[in-house]
């Protein structure tokens, strides 16, 4: 009975009656299937990995058959159950993820028509199946959002959260750095699950190393969309990180003061021009050790 795929499907979708569920949970088969599910849970979804799938099925079955190698019927049932579980996991997981590499930009349209534009070395993820009840996006890196009016729109990052109804805004979340710029509408910024900041049109807010700061802007969208990154009183260490993401290079920072503030911009098309534009005003010299490694020194 418990090896029947219809019964297992009802169990996985929580459609068993209270009596059926109670009886099943007392059986030896229940404990075996639970162990197999634990093996399946180690798989990465929704990415399909044949080797991991085979290993999970093999390990789940072998553990339960070492003590009784004559239980061929249960082996076949277990294999069928695992395949059924795998199929349901892949079917039910509707997560959508988009990622950019060094120097790349991309865009995507969310289920409600809202738009997301990703800057270099960034990623965005959302669950398509949950979108009608929760408009939530998980962001790593930097993105510009054009959100359609509707229910609350929630952006989660490692550094903080942003809540909106319908507006245009930019979010940049890096290590020890969190910045939100509101171009139209209104957004609520939450840092460390406690401090709230309301931003209205052409207002910006930044947290660097736990220190917050707000300022006004004049542009209608972020400059990086058109191939130029702009900074306002930003620690040079974050400017350096931005250049690394755009040009796939690394820096040896030598004796420079990484907290020195920079205001200005650099173009994404020419690394030599970008380096001169940023470091000349800061009185910092740069030297290419090789194609992808640059040494910085104080002049």
Three-state secondary structure readout of 102-114: CCCCEEEECCCCC
- State the Cα angle at 247 between 245 and 248, rounded to 5°: 70
pLDDT at 69: 47
Query: The tokens of 18 are what?
Result: 């209270």
DSSP 172: E
Residue 224 has pLDDT above 80, yes or no: yes
When mean pLDDT is compared over 29-33, 69-73, 274-278, the highest value belongs to 274-278
From CA 292, how far away is CA 299, in angstroms rounded? 22
Distance CA 33, CA 60 (A): 8
pTM: 0.69
Could you tell me the CA-to-CA distances from 80 to 9, 14, 23, 225 in Å, in that order? 11, 19, 21, 50
Question: Same topology for domains 95-216 and 227-298, yes or no?
Answer: no
d(CA 246, CA 173): 16
Burial of 265 (0-12, 13-18, 19+ CB in 10 A): middle
Three-state helix/strand/coil letters over 54-93: HHHHHHHHHHHHCCCCCCHHHHHHHHHHHHHHHHHHHHHC
Q: Any idea which architecture 95-216 has in CATH?
A: Sandwich (2.60)
- Supply the pLDDT for residue 44: 47
pLDDT at 156: 95
Domain 227-298 has CATH 3.40.50.10070: no
**C-alpha span between 235 and 176 (Å, rounded):** 11
pLDDT tens digits, residue range 245-274?
A: 999 999 999 889 999 999 999 999 999 999
Per residue in 155-211, pLDDT tens?
A: 999 999 999 988 999 999 998 899 999 999 999 999 987 778 999 999 999 999 888
* Domain range summary for the chain, segments of one domain joined by +: 5-92, 95-216, 227-298
């Amino acid at each position: 009975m418990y090896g029947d795929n219809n019964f297992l499907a009802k169990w996985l979708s929580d459609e068993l009656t209270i009596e059926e569920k109670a009886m099943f949970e007392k059986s030896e088969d229940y404990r075996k299937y639970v162990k197999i599910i634990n093996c399946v849970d180690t798989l990465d979804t929704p990415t399909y990995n044949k080797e991991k799938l085979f290993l999970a099925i093999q390990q789940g079955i072998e553990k339960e058959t070492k003590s009784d190698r004559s239980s061929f019927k249960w082996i076949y049932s277990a294999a069928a159950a695992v395949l059924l579980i795998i199929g349901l996991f892949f079917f039910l997981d509707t997560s959508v993820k988009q990622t950019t590499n060094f120097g790349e930009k991309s865009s995507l349209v969310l289920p409600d028509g809202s738009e997301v534009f990703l800057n270099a070395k960034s990623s965005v993820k959302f669950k398509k199946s949950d979108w009608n009840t929760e408009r939530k996006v998980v962001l790593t890196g930097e993105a510009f959002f054009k959100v359609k009016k509707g229910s609350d729109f929630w952006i989660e990052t490692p550094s903080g959260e942003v809540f909106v109804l319908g507006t245009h805004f930019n979010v940049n979340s890096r290590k020890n750095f969190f910045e939100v710029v509101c171009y139209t509408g209104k957004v609520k910024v939450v840092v460390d699950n406690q401090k709230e900041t309301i931003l209205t049109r052409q207002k910006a807010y930044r947290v660097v190393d736990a220190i917050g700061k707000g300022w006004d802007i004049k542009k209608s969208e972020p400059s990086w969309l058109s191939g130029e990154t702009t900074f306002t009183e930003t620690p040079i260490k974050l400017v350096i990180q931005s250049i690394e993401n755009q040009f796939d290079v690394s820096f040896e920072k030598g004796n420079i003061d990484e907290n020195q503030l920079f205001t200005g911009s650099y173009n994404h098309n020419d690394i030599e021009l970008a380096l001169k534009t940023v470091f000349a005003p800061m009185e910092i010299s740069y030297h290419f050790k090789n194609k992808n490694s640059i040494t910085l020194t104080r002049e």
